[in-house]
Amino acid sequence: MSFRYSSMLLPGTMLLLPAYCYSQFTFTSSRASFYGSPDGLGTPSGACGFGTYGKTVNDANVAGVSSLWNNGTACGTCYQVRCNVPDVCTDYGVFVVVTDYGEGDDTDFVLSPRAYGRMALADKSEELYTFGVVDVEFLRVPCRFRGYNVNFKVHENSKFPQYLAVATLYVGGQNDVLAVEMWQEDCKEWMPMKRAFGAVFDIFYPPPGPMNLRFQVSGSAGLTWVVANNAIPKIWKAGVAYDLLLRVRCNVPDVCTDYGVHVVVTDYGEGDDTDFILSPRAFGRMALVDKSEELYTFGVVDVEFLRVPCRFRGYNVKFKVHENSKYPQYLAVSMLYVGGQNDVQAVEIWQEDCKDWVPMRRAFGAVFDISNPPPGAINLRFQVSGSAGLTWVVANNAIPKFVA
């Protein structure tokens, strides 16, 4: 294992950031339609190469694009799309993630049925579906998925050890992945991977051992490289997702410990070219005994960080019924902890009447919600990604006859 280099900001340090307001930006006029899907979700066979991730990401509010495709660079980008049908459409519209290439009747977007319906006012989605194609306005917006800086997976077409294909699932903020390179230790240089299709980059005969990757991204900061050391383990498997995020240690001689501090991600935060904004306690615990006050005076420090498994005694999965829940008509579940080095991708609830698992919507951050949950004790299952790939963790009778 090797650490990644970054910078860190102490909370309370003065920092001026731009205030974003959508009215300051210009929407572009276009048209949108939707594709057929029996469950209303995205398609696992999209041209971006996301596979099953493309079916449920962003609560299945996904889209295929045509003029915005740009040779697959659009994959994983986020847009706000709102329709222009009076007394049918909301002013806000829907946030979608691009997961596919799609052409329609002079359209820029072919939406999943769920995303298309969510542009409508309450009880107006069926009326909106009857239009088939509608005039819309769209705006590129930053993606915000909790816990990720860069997220990618070894594509299912990969064949260990001779052929490696990497699908870039997510890059934080308003960025596009333009290129992916792999470190070749024998010749001491970065070697470009070929864009095979969509968001998939591949290479034949990748180097043995843990692999270092770097991603060239374009955004408001221009062209930058995001480096991921030991991004892919020595024995890799097709279909497994990997994410970059955490043991943190600072690099101030005679002030910082060699070990650093273990931290849990609980919030989104931006700083002065930083990857982390720590709590004061966590920031101070990177320091040697009696050196924490001196460390605080730096405000921002260079650090190294490493993704590590979580180990909370007695827990496999821990969650709570969120305070916004209203019994019995609205249930929101906040994910507090998933054991090991795993991330929660989706939460589903068992519907006894239809004998099927029904997806809950990611409302924000780690909170998933559903209106009119089933009565009685509630069964949940959590889709987690980690070293074993995508797996489901089932919790029977997880919530006893739901009470907020």
Give the fold, CATH level 3, of 317-399.
Immunoglobulin-like (2.60.40)
- Above 60 in pLDDT, residue 370? yes
Segment 255-289, tens digit of pLDDT: 998 878 878 776 666 666 777 888 888 898 899 98
* CATH placement of domain 22-141: 2.40.40.10
Percentage above 70 pLDDT, the chain: 79
* Residue 125 phi, psi (nearest 5): -65, -40
For residues 6 and 227, is the Cβ–Cβ distance under 8 A? no
pLDDT digits (tens, 9 = 90+) for 198-249: 889 999 999 987 888 888 887 666 777 877 777 888 888 887 776 544 567 8
pLDDT (0 to 100) of residue 176? 77
d(CA 354, CA 224): 49
What are the residue ranges of CATH 2.40.40.10 in the chain?
A: 22-141
Listed in order, the ranges of the chain carrying CATH 2.60.40.760 are: 150-243, 317-399
Class of CATH domain 150-243: mainly beta
Structure token pair of residue 124? 């107006």
Beta carbons of 271 and 9 less than 8 angstroms apart = yes
pLDDT tens, 304-318?
877 665 554 444 567
